[in-house]
Amino acid sequence: MKITWLGHAAFRIETAKSTILIDPFFSGNPGFEGLDRKDAAKDVTHILLTHGHADHIGDTADIARETGAVVLANADLAAWLGANRGVGKLEPGNTGGTISLGDFSATFVDAKHSSAFITEDGVSHALGNANGLMLHFAEEPTLLHMGDTDIFSDMQLINELHKPEVGLVPIGDRFTMGGAIAALACQRYFSFSSIFPCHYGSFPIIDQTADVFVEAMEGDRGIVAVPKPGEMRQL
């Protein structure tokens, strides 16, 4: 498995059979500056969305049209993308549901956050629940993208049910849990073998580095990867 952080909450996941983008917020993302959108979206087969905020939907519609990728999202967001953004290949689901996508499956798990899209004219569209996405692969480590979330005790149940080995964890504070709370979530509720912090270093009103998270991980710092945007890590 190859994992590339693309700034903010966006990731590219490559396996032998699939190339996945999660929350592909490229245009307007300060964390993506200097990177190439064509390279980030090359050969993409699936786009997975955790929720309906603009900094997570991002470039989904354009990339889906350009690549023919399948887009997975909660049912309300999927319907909105089809009706308002012309996305054709949609896989809708909702919290607790699992969808098979070839060499992997995606399960919608809980996240504590909001989910709405505000258009340029100020109209707010409610777009279902915010979720984390739990990915099970045929021949790769299990992976959890937590989405945007605070800590919550049922994270322990997610771990019991799915046993994620790789965690993509929001740490930037203000809109998600901050670094110290994110470290507590990882240490108390999960047994990750690799952790990639995210949702930091992009907008000036959230934390600019992963330092607080790394420091709070104490004896588990060795499992934390802090790549630069665009830097690929292989597991």
Give the CATH number of the domain where residue 35 resides.
3.60.15.10
Q: Which domain holds residue 94?
A: 2-234
Q: How many domains does the chain have?
A: 1
Indicate the pTM of the whole model: 0.97
Residue 47 in tokens? 């786009």
| 50-76 per-position pLDDT tens digit | 999 999 999 999 999 999 999 999 999
Residues 6+ apart with CB under 8 A from 194: 141, 165, 166, 167, 223, 225, 235
| 22-39 per-position pLDDT tens digit | 999 999 999 999 999 999
